[in-house]
Structure 1
Amino acid sequence: MTRIKMAVIGLGKMGLHMIHQATQAELSEKVEIVAVCDSSEQLLTSFACSHPETKTYMDFRQLLDAHPVDLLYIAVPPKYHYPVVMEALERKIHVFCEKPLANSVEEAKAMLEAAEKAGVVHSIHFSMPHEPSVVKLQELIQQETIGEIRKIDLILQFPQWPRTWQQNAWISSREQGGFILEVGIHWIHMIQNVFGSIRVISSQVQFPQNTGECEHEVQAAMELEDGTRIQLNGIAHFAGEERVSMVVYGTEGTIALENWDQLWSGCIGEPLVPVEVEESLSQLPVLKHVIARLQGQPAKIYDFNDGYHAQLVLEALRNPDQS
């Protein structure tokens, strides 16, 4: 079997993580990392020391000119997604892009239209629906374990933002950072995948004055297509513990997905108890599905259409005056 030639743009945390996944036993026979690109000469030098067989570039166009590439994985900051993706689509290269898809609704729409025109596989790295706890959550919702859904609460709480392992120049900026964009986008997509489309009714975002820093607080009212209410409460910079959770209230009980992957459930009037989640339900890694799709095999991927509809909600939350 001919291996898929894959290039990686961006050698930050996610870029290196994806390279690690691609070199694991399950995927290494199916994909080959032929080249990488980053704007940091220091990162490229460090990478070259441990991967001397892989070509390195500081200009992604030079990389694409020099190598036949089947799949391009894009892990640069959000405002750079658009130029890299559009160049790849112009060359009819399959694209696997980090979330969020773009840095605006207009960019996301243009990228979706270009991807459909190019006729290539276009996928976005939405991983939450592949997590075993979310697979189990969707199963419980479909079985109406807690009856009809009454309301959903989404809680995003960060004692420190950026978190200690996220120190970089863009993740704390209002332009392309913040916890709504970086974390909220996962939950927006997951909710739309499990429960249906979201409409933002109102959003109140508090930014530090006279700086370009990202949000410190957000309160938003949203709803599903059937009118089910979703309440978002987010805050950063406080004394306490991080909490990234969703609570689903039903007519017969409650389900909570606490801190990403801890699933709890209970009937009305009773305490919540842990729900056993089998690791065998995991559909990760997402790269496995992208490779399978390229090989014409059954796969579960989320494409630029999913990214565009998540972007609509994301931008309505971040920029309520423009929605």
Structure 2
Amino acid sequence: MSTIRWGIIGCGNVTEVKSGPGFQKADNSQLVAVMRRDAALAEDYAARHGVPKWYSDAKQLIEDPEVDAVYVATPPSSHKEYVLQVAQAGKPVYVEKPMAMNYAECQDMIEACEKAGVPLFVAYYRRALPRFVKVKELLASEVIGEVRFVASTQLGRLVNNSSWRVDPVVSGGGLFVDVGSHTLDLLDYLFGPVAEVHGMAGNQGRFYKAEDIVTATYRFESGVYGTGTWCFASSQDLDRNEIVGSKGSISFSTFQDKPIVVTSAQGVEEIMIDHPAHVQQPLIQTVVNELLGKGTSPSSGLSGARTSKVMDTLLRGYYGT
């Protein structure tokens, strides 16, 4: 096999620019089929993006012999269902983040893929974006010495949000699960697995049932300590991670288009690395490369599940699970 032919289940907003075109533009990759329950929307997406086939039935796409691998881009409530179906069909699967509704579902998905002998990848695409790869390189160079701790703060303005992203029945939580998961997974990429985590969650804005504030403290297996605050009932927008070492610090944003700021004995340096037009494309390329035996993707089912496990721990008191 010289080219991976992809099918997408759930061609919604995330697939329009962030991910969908990445499957078409990555080397040795083709997007050959898409599925959406609304047939008219599936047909429209296929026509606009030049995709040869479209379906309104996921089973038909999964069983299509011309589809080698499947990208599940639906809300989290259906991730497990579709991943298990793809695994049963013996095909590799790339699933959107968060990986599932909870860590238990992640484990079921990993087990199913292992039993079927197919790889499982998760769309935590920041692991492959050049900006964050650079942060990892800076840490490895010890420009700030030995890392002591990392502090993450993400604030959002109070908004009466009614989308599925703040419906725990569909998303597994609120905006912390939707966007805060990116930061937690990025920290896992930079420092390795979390060994111990404590925290609290609550709802201060009272606009929806999901949590809108989460605070956390954690210790990574690597010995790095950390704190995090995610508040989406704030008066401001703020997105900042600061890594403090024995000889300096590195600060950067998870989402905002800002430079990496390195403070060391050499002074203060700002490093701006633009994101690609289709932000998932670099990670998609690593997945394609692994499927073709040319490398290893940095985002697997195992790493994705670790992030879900941390979130479960932080949200347990709020949801009583």
Q: TM-score, normalization: structure 1?
A: 0.85
* 1:208-242: CA deviation from partner (whole Å, max 9, x where unpaired): 698753222111111112553211111113322x2
SS where residue 23 of structure 1 aligns?
helix
Is the contact made by 1:104 and 1:315 (CA closer than 8 Å) also made in structure 2?
Answer: yes
Determine the C-alpha separation between the residues in 2 that align with 1:56 and 1:138. Answer: 39
Is the contact made by 2:259 and 2:272 (CA closer than 8 Å) also made in structure 1?
Answer: no
* 1:82-128: CA deviation from partner (whole Å, max 9, x where unpaired): 00000000110111111111111111001111111211222111211
Corresponding position of 1:221 = 217
1:266 aligns with 2:247: no
Unaligned runs of 5+ in 2: none
Is the contact made by 2:182 and 2:254 (CA closer than 8 Å) also made in structure 1?
Answer: no
Corresponding position of 1:117 = 115
The one-letter code matched in structure 1 to 2:29 is V
> What is the aligned length?
313
Following superposition, the deviation at residue 168 of structure 1 comes to 7.2
Determine the C-alpha separation between the residues in 1 that align with 2:50 and 2:140. Answer: 49
SS where residue 79 of structure 2 aligns?
helix
Q: TM-score, normalization: structure 2?
A: 0.86
Following superposition, the deviation at residue 180 of structure 1 comes to 1.6
Q: Within 5 Å, which residues of 2 pair with 1:86-235?
A: 86-160=84-158, 169-175=163-169, 176=171, 177-207=173-203, 213-235=209-231
Corresponding position of 1:315 = 312
1:251 aligns with 2:246: yes
Determine the C-alpha separation between the residues in 2 that align with 1:53 and 1:149. Answer: 46
Pair 4,283 (structure 1): closer, same or farther in 2 beyond 3 Å = closer
Is the contact made by 1:254 and 1:272 (CA closer than 8 Å) also made in structure 2?
Answer: no
SS where residue 11 of structure 2 aligns?
coil
The one-letter code matched in structure 2 to 1:245 is R
The one-letter code matched in structure 1 to 2:71 is Y
Percent same amino acid at aligned positions? 23
Pair 87,264 (structure 1): closer, same or farther in 2 beyond 3 Å = same
Determine the C-alpha separation between the residues in 2 that align with 1:53 and 1:284. Answer: 17
Following superposition, the deviation at residue 48 of structure 1 comes to 4.4
Higher mean Cα deviation, 196-205 or 107-116?
Answer: 196-205
Determine the C-alpha separation between the residues in 2 that align with 1:299 and 1:94. Answer: 14
Following superposition, the deviation at residue 291 of structure 1 comes to 1.4
Is the contact made by 2:181 and 2:311 (CA closer than 8 Å) also made in structure 1?
Answer: yes
Determine the C-alpha separation between the residues in 1 that align with 2:7 and 2:297. Answer: 22
Determine the C-alpha separation between the residues in 1 that align with 2:83 and 2:58. Answer: 11
Higher mean Cα deviation, 117-126 or 312-321?
Answer: 312-321
Determine the C-alpha separation between the residues in 1 that align with 2:117 and 2:22. Answer: 26
Unaligned runs of 5+ in 1: none
Pair 318,271 (structure 1): closer, same or farther in 2 beyond 3 Å = farther
Higher mean Cα deviation, 150-159 or 52-61?
Answer: 52-61
Pair 283,209 (structure 1): closer, same or farther in 2 beyond 3 Å = closer
SS where residue 209 of structure 2 aligns?
coil
Corresponding position of 2:23 = 22
Corresponding position of 1:34 = 32
Pair 66,152 (structure 1): closer, same or farther in 2 beyond 3 Å = closer
Is the contact made by 1:98 and 1:124 (CA closer than 8 Å) also made in structure 2?
Answer: yes
Is the contact made by 1:204 and 1:320 (CA closer than 8 Å) also made in structure 2?
Answer: yes
Determine the C-alpha separation between the residues in 2 that align with 1:135 and 1:14. Answer: 22
Is the contact made by 2:145 and 2:246 (CA closer than 8 Å) also made in structure 1?
Answer: yes
Corresponding position of 1:292 = 289
SS where residue 103 of structure 1 aligns?
coil
